[in-house]
């Protein structure tokens, strides 16, 4: 094909400008190749950058610092960045307080309050959901640590509402210790339990009935197991208030898998304690119950396919099962045996998948996932379900009990900030409470449409597309496509003020509902995990192709973004179809799929991704592993990798190795940058000021690469 003279001139000018910009930057750090050859089931694989896995090595630290300096030299000179920081600061700090994680105990309503410009959320009590002004601060990490480096992982109040156990961690590490506070005064007790929460298996607490103690999850402590096992073998122990932790008693866990993840919940009267045990991150669960007799009994098996569980009236237990029901069914089992053999099916899903539920008196409130957006229904035992009115194309978040068997639920959409609503089953009406967030970023001029792409195997893949009303479909709109696709995590409609900046500058924002999530039940998840993982990447590529074919954008104006498992998606997309995208933003991603299970949280991922120890799973992993499919001399898009030094979920070595490989391989003048934060981890607990800086870097990078003004 002959390129017209004016196009050749423009292309030459663009390349010259890019080269000029590159000349102004520090050079790419010298990254020597030190080949290590592994033999995987007879397949020899060479790894040139194995040495970058050693985070504590002074040479690696120096290399990472040089990468950061180069990235900062680029980002800080971009003329748009200052304006972006100013606007994001206005939007983020101008938002009203947001209340989340509502829990009622002993007649006291607890919540986590996010109140910009405070750097971290804090724990409060409220008189009711109609009186946000009544908030009484119990634990404030901003006071404990004015730098913003400490965050609340979780909290659990005692049944009488007088004490609360709070897990606190630092630097985004998620390595939390539990302290106990008096609710009325906010004063800490002497009780401090180390190593309760972690990035690998989480953490949990359940109080006994009289608030004299609690059960808690516990990771091995130094000296109890080899260093390589300190992030595994989670167990359950019991702590009595006022006693040294050395006197705590073992309760459960010696028989559990190495990658067990335990979540605890007590019945309303404290007589029973449920332990939900996940077998890693792949969606497999079993359950144990502790009764008044003091003995733990296993009540479900992995083969029962029960996931969520919650106590109801009279100590009965409700379980979400997907055995012979990919869309889900709710089972009721009764104390004291809680036998599945005598389970009663109380709700069976229809076309939408059961995504969550809450029991309150004679009512079951059931949240459904309908391809991405939510549905909410109320069911009185023995009667038909009734739909609860919610916002169009929206998500229903947490469900919480309110007095009188009423329901509090959180609802938000792409264009409406989150608000808590109270549903009264007697009237069938849902009314917004005073716990409603407002934002200085308004979206009244934005339209949301649901479209479908057709994947490689013919599967229809939904997308939510946001654009300002009147945006022309001329194929020239800067478009940002976001995806995840894994762990049964559904991409739901969420409000975000940061999208306002993109839309105001002619951009289109797209969220894809890929396989691997739970948008259409467990079958949707199964089609995107283990040896079927390539379906996720095919779905995402199909969405990109749809946006181009439908004239939303073109490859020179299309950017993609994802994080964690979505970072893996970014790596696969840019190595499999580099010509489709102009720019890539990848947060805390996984790229070396042959080495990931050698790191603590990677072992928990085996039930989702697979293992190199199984022949078919190794072949699948090697077939798409982004790090191993970078080709020398290929023209890759511009890429910004972001990671955090304290990430306990995805080791930052992934980002270091992938950045080095791409920098050495690409033939394109488009830059490859690595941004490493010393004060963050996987993203959980990131302080507000760091979030603003990070988002500003992302937008400045995208504006520059897509030619946005």
Percent over 70 (pLDDT), the chain: 97
Question: 36 vs 33, 48, 104, 444, CA distance in Å?
Answer: 9, 6, 56, 56
- Smallest CA-to-CA distance from 555 within 523, 592, 580, 527 is with 580
> pLDDT tens, 362-397?
999 999 999 999 999 999 988 989 999 999 999 999
Question: Alpha-carbon torsion 675, 678, 679, 680, what sign?
Answer: positive
Helix (H) or strand (E) holding 412: strand 406-413
Phi, psi of 396 (to 5 degrees): -100, 120
Cβ partners under 8 Å of residue 496, min gap 6: none
What six digits make up the tokens of 496? 């975000």
**Residue 562: band (very low, low, confident or very high) from pLDDT cuts 50, 70, 90:** very high
* 238 within 8 A of 246, measured Cβ to Cβ: no
Place 246 in a pLDDT band, splitting at 50, 70 and 90. Answer: very high
**pLDDT at residue 5 greater than cutoff 50:** no
Please identify every residue annotated as catalytic: 564, 682
Question: Per residue in 71-107, pLDDT tens?
Answer: 999 999 999 999 999 999 999 999 999 999 999 999 9
Q: Is the pLDDT assigned to residue 1 strictly greater than 70?
A: no
Write down the residue that tokens 């609340």 correspond to.
Answer: 152
Q: How far apart are the first and last CA of the chain?
A: 31
Helix (H) / strand (E) element for 354: namely strand 353-360
Q: What is the pLDDT of residue 610?
A: 98
Q: State residue 404's pLDDT score.
A: 87
Q: Is the pLDDT of residue 211 over 90?
A: yes
**Nearest CA to 602 among 550, 551, 653, 642?**
653
For the chain, how big is the Rg over CA atoms in Å? 26
What is the Cα–Cα distance from 585 to 694, expressed in whole angstroms? 11
pLDDT for 215 beyond 70: yes
SS3 assignment, position 332 = strand
pLDDT tens readout for residues 629-643 = 999 999 999 999 999
- What would the pLDDT profile of 499-548 be if each residue is shown by its tens digit? 999 999 999 999 999 999 999 999 999 999 999 999 999 999 999 999 99
130 in Cβ contact with 421 (< 8 Å): no
CB distance 80 to 684 below 8 Å: no
Q: How far apart are CA 106 and CA 118, in angstroms?
A: 29
From the centroid of its chain, how far is CA 414? 17
Q: Is the pLDDT score of 18 beyond 50?
A: no
Identify which of 496, 427, 421 has the alpha carbon closest to the alpha carbon of residue 102: 421
Query: Among residues 510, 511, 473, 471, which one has the least CA distance to residue 491?
Result: 511
Three-state SS at 182: strand
Residue 14: per-residue pLDDT: 40
Buried-state track 190-219, b at ≥16 Cβ within 10 A, e below 16: ebebebbbbbbbbbbbbbbbebebbbbbbb
pLDDT of residue 123: 98
- Distance CA(23)–CA(181), nearest Å, equals 56
pLDDT at 6: 35
Structural domains of the chain, ranges and CATH numbers in brackets: 444-706 (3.40.50.1820)
Spell out a b/e string for 94-115, using b for 16 or more CB atoms within 10 Å of the CB, else e: ebebbbbbbbbbeebbbbbbbb
The pLDDT score that the predictor gives to residue 15 is 42
DSSP annotation of 211 reads S
Helices assigned H by DSSP within 204-346: none
Query: Do β-strands 136-139 and 353-360 pair in parallel, antiparallel, or remain unpaired?
Result: unpaired
Confidence of residue 8 (pLDDT cuts 50, 70, 90): very low
Q: Which strands make up the sheet holding 273-279, listed edge to edge? A: 260-266, 273-279, 285-290, 296-300
Rounded to an integer, what distance in angstroms lies between the CA atom of residue 314 and that of residue 338? Answer: 12
- For 294-314, give one letter per residue: b (16+ CB within 10 A) or e: eebeebbeeebbbbbbbbbee
pLDDT, one tens digit per residue, over 656-709 is 999 999 999 999 999 999 999 999 999 999 999 999 999 999 999 999 999 998
Cα distances from 537 to residues 414, 534, 541, 583, in angstroms, run 24, 5, 6, 17
Residue 13: is its pLDDT beyond 80? no
pLDDT mean across residues, the chain: 95
- Distance of alpha carbon 236 from alpha carbon 38, whole angstroms: 38
Q: Is the pLDDT of residue 11 over 80?
A: no
Other CB atoms within a 10 A radius of the CB of residue 360 amount to 22
pLDDT attached to residue 2? 34
pLDDT tens profile 101-115: 999 999 999 999 999
Q: Which helix (H) or strand (E) holds 548?
A: helix 534-549
Give the whole-number percent of the chain exceeding pLDDT 90. 94
Kindly report, residue by residue over 288-343, the tens digit of the pLDDT.
999 999 999 999 999 999 999 999 988 899 999 999 999 999 999 999 999 999 99
């Amino acid at each position: 094909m002959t390129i017209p003279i004016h196009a050749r001139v423009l292309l030459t000018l663009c390349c010259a400008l890019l080269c000029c910009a590159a000349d102004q930057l520090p050079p790419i750090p010298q990254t020597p190749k030190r080949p290590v050859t592994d033999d995987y089931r007879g397949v020899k694989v060479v790894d040139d950058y194995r040495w970058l896995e050693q985070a504590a090595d002074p040479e690696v630290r120096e290399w990472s610092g040089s990468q950061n300096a180069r990235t900062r030299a680029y980002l800080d000179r971009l003329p748009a960045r200052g304006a972006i920081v100013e606007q994001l600061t206005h939007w983020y700090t101008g938002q009203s307080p947001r209340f989340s994680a509502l829990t009622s105990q002993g007649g006291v309503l607890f919540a986590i309050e996010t109140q910009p410009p405070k750097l971290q959320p804090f724990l409060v009590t409220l008189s009711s959901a109609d009186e946000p002004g009544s908030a009484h601060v119990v634990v404030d990490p901003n006071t404990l640590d004015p730098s913003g480096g400490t965050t609340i992982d979780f909290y659990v109040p005692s049944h009488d509402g007088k004490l609360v156990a709070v897990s606190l961690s630092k630097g985004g590490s998620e390595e939390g210790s539990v302290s106990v506070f008096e609710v009325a005064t906010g004063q800490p007790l002497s009780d401090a339990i180390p190593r309760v929460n972690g990035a690998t298996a989480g953490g949990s607490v359940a109080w006994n009935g009289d608030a004299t103690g609690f059960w808690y999850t516990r990771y091995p402590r130094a000296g109890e197991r080899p260093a390589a096992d300190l992030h595994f073998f989670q167990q359950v122990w019991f702590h009595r208030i006022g006693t040294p932790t050395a006197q705590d008693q073992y309760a459960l866990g010696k028989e559990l898998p190495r990658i067990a993840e335990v979540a605890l919940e007590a019945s309303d009267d404290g007589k029973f304690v449920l332990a939900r045990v996940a077998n890693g991150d792949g969606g497999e669960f079993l359950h144990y119950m502790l009764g008044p007799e003091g003995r733990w009994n296993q009540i479900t098996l992995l083969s029962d396919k029960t996931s969520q569980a919650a106590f109801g009236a009279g100590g009965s237990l409700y379980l979400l099962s997907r055995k012979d029901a990919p869309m889900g069914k709710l089972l009721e089992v009764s104390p004291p045996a809680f036998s599945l053999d005598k389970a009663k099916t109380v709700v069976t899903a229809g076309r939408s998948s059961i995504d969550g539920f809450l029991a309150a008196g004679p009512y079951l409130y059931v949240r459904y996932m309908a391809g991405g957006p939510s549905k909410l229904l109320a069911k009185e035992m023995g009667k038909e379900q009734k739909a609860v009115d919610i916002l169009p194309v929206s998500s229903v978040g947490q469900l919480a009990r309110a007095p009188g068997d009423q329901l509090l639920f959180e609802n938000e959409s792409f264009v409406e900030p989150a608000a808590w609503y109270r549903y009264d089953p007697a009237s069938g009406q849902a009314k917004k409470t005073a716990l409603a967030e407002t934002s200085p970023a308004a979206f009244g001029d934005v339209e949301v449409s649901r479209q479908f792409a057709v994947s490689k195997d013919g599967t229809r893949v939904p997308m939510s597309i946001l654009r300002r009303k009147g945006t022309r479909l001329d194929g020239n709109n800067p478009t940002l496509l976001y995806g995840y696709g894994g762990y049964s995590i559904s991409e739901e409609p969420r409000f975000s003020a940061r999208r306002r900046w993109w839309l105001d500058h002619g951009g289109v924002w797209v969220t894809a509902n890929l396989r691997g999530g739970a948008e259409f039940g467990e079958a949707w998840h199964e089609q995107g995990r283990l040896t079927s993982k390539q379906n996720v990447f095919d779905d995402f590529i199909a969405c990109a192709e749809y946006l181009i074919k439908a004239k939303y954008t073109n490859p020179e104006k299309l950017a993609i973004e994802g994080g964690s498992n979505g970072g893996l998606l970014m790596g696969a997309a840019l190595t499999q179809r580099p010509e489709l995208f102009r720019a890539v933003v990848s947060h805390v991603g996984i790229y070396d799929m042959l080495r990931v299970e050698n790191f603590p949280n990677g072992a928990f991922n085996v039930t989702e991704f697979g293992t190199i120890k199984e022949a078919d799973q190794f072949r699948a992993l090697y077939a798409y592993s982004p790090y191993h499919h970078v080709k020398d001399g290929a023209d890759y898009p511009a890429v910004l990798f972001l990671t955090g030094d304290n990430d306990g979920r995805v080791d930052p070595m992934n980002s270091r190795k992938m950045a080095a490989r791409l920098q050495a391989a690409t033939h394109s003048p488009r830059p490859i940058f690595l941004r490493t934060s010393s004060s963050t981890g996987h993203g959980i607990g990131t302080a507000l000021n760091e979030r603003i800086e990070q988002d500003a870097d992302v937008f400045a990078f995208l504006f520059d690469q897509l030619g946005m003004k």
